[in-house]
Amino acid sequence: MRGNFGISHPNDTAALSLKFKAHQHPTAKKGETMTTQAIQKTRYPVSRHAQRMQDVFLVSSFGLWAVLLGLSPVLAFRLLMGG
């Protein structure tokens, strides 16, 4: 019989109780609302314009990499075929 002797196999009731405990206590207090905006440090304030520029640079860098990775096989093929 082959197997991994170093791996523990808990029974189903132990795994079920662990899952129940993870979902039992919510991390947010009652009355709090969740936000998707990152909390900025007051020491380094960031303006909306700077955040917008960072977003534009991030998206454009993904676009640049997509173009480079998409065109490099085509250009390599053209160079290898000589024309």
The confidence score (pLDDT) of residue 77 equals 94
User: What's the length of the chain?
Assistant: 83
Are 29 and 23 spatial neighbours (Cβ–Cβ below 8 Å)? no
- Comparing 7 with 50, the larger pLDDT belongs to 50
pLDDT at residue 28 is higher than 60: no
pTM: 0.40
Check residue 65 and give its pLDDT: 95
Tokens of 68: 């480079």
Mean pLDDT, the chain, as a whole number?
75
Task: Kindly state the tokens that stand for 46.
Answer: 């960031």
